[in-house]
Chains A and B, each alone.
Chain A
Amino acid sequence: MTQASSWKKKLRNNATGYMFLLPTILVLGTFLFLPVFYSLYLSGHKVNLLGEVSYKWVGFKNFTRMAADERAWIALKNTASFALFVVPLQTAFAILLAVILNAKLRFKNFFRIVFFMPTVTSSAVLSLIFMWIYNSNGLLNRVLEFIGLHGYNWLGDPAVAMKAIMLMNIWSTAPFFMVVFLAALQDIPDSLYESAMLDGAGAWRRFISITLPLIKPATFFAVVMGIIGTFQLFDQSYIFSAGSGGPNNSTLTVALLIYQYAFKNLDFGYASALAVMLAAVIMIVTLIQRMLFAEEKLN
């Protein structure tokens, strides 16, 4: 191949690539990237948006302020431990559900629909139901007492309040990723399993050496979106603590803190700085996770 033609090919690839991306660039660029960019800009300013609009460049002051803000650290710690606990569990659980529901099974479609229900039920309804399950005289404590364990004050006790939210989150998010994995499983040709079976590989062995590697891109997606989703936990914390993040900061998350600063205190500069910090943390965690996955090698 001559240099000219390879250059030509490259040009054509670029043109096609951007052609494919054009709608996305227009839409996401305007409605997602611009607001995010604006937030980046705000994070270096002391801002007043309501009333007399003013931007004052303060350099890294919003970030140094964070260092002395103990609630920011507590929120980060809560959020990180939440993600660390929820992401692996919900991913594993989603894979388990998908694999089972992909097998030859009676009433398969029935189970697929039933298991998906937590994802479609509205969050207001879910949190109401969970209040009913988690209160001191609620369903969960009755079950625990029935099997001889002692109950907790799930919502009032800082030691367990976040755990209550974790359980709820896994239960309602896992079906979402279950669907992703179900779709991914369809792309694994049966012939691979058949030949493995001929080689005498057991079910577990087949799962480890065929299923898992082939759904790796889907797993990468589930883990990254899981990380982003859990690090941005807001709804449940907000509803469970009526917006305060209590008791004793136990349900305080970074997103809740950002919301408090942005809308309650109208301190958009600091709220943006917190968001940038959060994004940086998510980015780092994603990178670490990506190194572990090394997904690009698949091709």
Chain B
Amino acid sequence: MVFQQTKWGKAILYFLLFAYGCITVAPFLWALSSSFKPLSEIVSGGINFIPKQFTFQNYYDIFVKEPLFLRWMYNSALIAVVATVCNTLFNSMAGYALARIEFTGSKVMFILILAVQMIPGQLTIVPAYLIMKQLDLLNTYAALTLPMMANATFIFMMRQFFLSFPKELEEAAAMDGLNRFGVFFRIALPLAVPALAAQTIFVFMGAWNEFLKPLMFMSDKSMFTLTLGLNTFKGQYISHWNYIMAASMVFTLPALLIYAFFNRFFIKGISFTGGK
């Protein structure tokens, strides 16, 4: 880029990156440090980053004292894994079909997939609840995994990615006698690794942090997800920020780790694009 051509330009670029990095990392660090503070220190109005009274009590209270903690962790992990696996496959298939296969009604399908996202979720939650009740799925894993098996947003995203792939490879493969499924699994998917990585990150994050659905669908404490379970410390009048901060670390860290891991796929050369 422009900046990299001179020494000074480079210095300025790194300075800007560093400065912006401070802005993005500060809230996280602040939450991290708060999770090791007693409530009295958090609400004292001080803005110290290093805890004055360092304590593990918050983590101890929400993890060890809570008998259902492991169960919630299992629930969350199970749902996030099922959602991630299904989404990556189903969204990619749908996105591919919308971008590449000429079939009757593909436009309508695409528009529907865009349109259903335009009605805000605050309104659809009650009908969604009624459907769950009709299907007798309340308080089951299926209530969370089934609706999270495909996602309109990422179908749209995958479609956009497949749109920009070179058609020649696929045509060549079709010549070689591969059918559509073959082309999809053998040619298109391997090309889409960066997009799949992005999708995996988002879907996992979304499923792991999902709050409204478990809140509505799960009344049985043993079926809670971690996000939901760790929010039960919220009082009517008083927020226990110490627990909320410790809990927020539990939501943030796995998502961040997944991101850090899949980040490696955003590197050129991993996909053999452009007919290399």
Residues of A within 8 A of B (CB): 10, 13-14, 16-18, 20-21, 23-24, 27-28, 30-36, 38-39, 49, 99-100, 102-104, 106, 109, 111-122, 124-126, 128-129, 132, 139, 171, 175-176, 179-180, 182-192, 202-204, 214-218, 220-221, 224-225, 228, 231-232, 234, 254-255, 258-259, 262-263, 268, 271-272, 275-276, 278-279, 282-283, 286, 295, 298-299
Q: Collect the chain B residues with CB atoms within 8 Å of residue A276's CB.
A: 119
Q: Are B157 and A180 in contact (CB under 8 A)?
A: yes
Number of A-B contacts (CB under 8 A): 263
Q: What residues of chain B have their CB less than 8 Å away from a CB belonging to chain A?
A: 1-2, 4-5, 13-14, 17, 20-21, 23-25, 27-28, 30-31, 47, 86, 89-91, 93-94, 96-98, 101-104, 106, 109, 112-128, 131, 146-147, 149-150, 152-153, 155-157, 160-161, 163-165, 167, 180-181, 184, 191, 194-195, 197-198, 201-202, 205, 209, 241, 244-245, 248, 251-252, 255-256, 259-260, 263-264, 266-268, 270-271, 273-274, 276
The reply to whether B118 and A228 contact each other, CB–CB distance below 8 Å, is: yes
Give the Cβ gap from B100 to chain A, nearest Cβ, in Å. 9
Set A24, A132, A271: member contacting B150, Cβ < 8 A: A24
Across the interface, do B122 and A262 meet the contact criterion of CB distance under 8 Å?
yes
Cα(A34)–Cα(B126), bound, Å: 11
Using CB atoms, name the residue of chain B closest to A296.
B163
17 contacts across the A-B interface (CB closer than 8 A):
A17-B97, A30-B147, A32-B124, A109-B263, A113-B263, A117-B27, A117-B256, A121-B27, A128-B241, A179-B202, A182-B198, A183-B197, A187-B273, A218-B161, A221-B157, A228-B117, A232-B121
CB-CB under 8 A from B156, the residues of chain A are 221, 224-225
Contact of B1 with A103 in the complex, beta carbons under 8 Å: yes
List residues of chain A with CB within 8 A of the CB of B20.
115
Return B122 CB to nearest CB of chain A, in Å: 4
What residue of chain B has the Cβ atom nearest to residue A137's Cβ?
A: B45
| Of listed A32, A176, A216, residue having the most chain B CB within 10 A | A32
Determine which of B114, B149, B167 lies in contact with A286 in the assembled complex, contact meaning CB atoms within 8 Å. Answer: B114
Instruction: Report the minimal beta-carbon distance from B76 to chain A, rounded to whole angstroms.
Output: 14
CA distance A77 to B225 in the complex (A): 37
Given A120-B256, A204-B2, A283-B118: A24 touches B27 (CB 8 Å cut-off): no
Nearest 3 CB-CB pairings of A with B: A189-B274, A17-B103, A20-B97
Bound: A27/B145 CA distance, A? 10
Query: How far is it, in angstroms, between the C-alpha of A221 and the C-alpha of B117 when the chains are bound?
Result: 13
Query: Which residues of chain B have C-beta atoms less than 8 A from A282's C-beta?
Result: 118
A183 with B259, Cβ < 8 A, contacts A111-B21, A122-B251, A191-B274 known? no
CB of B119 within 8 A of CB of A121, answer no
CA distance A175 to B124 in the complex (A): 28
> Which of chain B's residues have a CB closer than 8 A to the CB of A35?
119, 124-125, 127-128, 131
| CB contact under 8 A between A23 and B149, given known A36-B116, A116-B259, A184-B161 | yes
- A120's partner among B125, B127, B150, B255 (CB-CB below 8 A) is B255
What residue in chain A is nearest B260 (Cβ atoms)?
A: A113
Secondary structure at the A interface, as helix, strand, loop or mixed, is helix
A219 to B97, CA, bound (A): 20
Residues of B within 8 A of A103 (CB): 1, 4
The residue on A at minimum CB distance from B193 is A186
Q: Is A23's CB under 8 angstroms from B2's CB?
A: no
Do the beta carbons of A234 and B93 come within 8 Å of each other?
A: no
Query: Do B147 and A31 have beta carbons less than 8 Å apart?
Result: yes
**What is the CB-to-nearest-CB distance from A25 to chain B, in angstroms, rounded to a whole number?**
8
Contacts of A259 in B (CB 8 A): 122
| Docked-complex contact B123 and A124, CB < 8 angstroms | no
Note all chain A residues with C-beta closer than 8 A to B131: 30-31, 34-35
CB–CB B122/A33 < 8 A:
no
A258-B164 in contact given A176-B202, A187-B273 (Cβ < 8 Å): no
Contact B123 A262 (CB under 8 A): yes
Q: Which of A28, A111, A189 contacts B113 (CB 8 A)?
A: A28
B86 to chain A, nearest CB (A): 8
Q: How far is the CA of A111 from the CA of B17 in the complex (A)?
A: 7
Q: What residues of B have a CB within 8 angstroms of the CB of A10 in the complex?
A: 104
| Chain B residues whose CB sits within 8 angstroms of the CB of A32 once the complex forms | 116, 124, 147, 152
Further pairs besides A215-B164, A234-B120, A299-B167: 8, Cβ < 8 Å: A35-B127, A38-B124, A179-B201, A182-B198, A218-B164, A228-B118, A258-B123, A268-B126
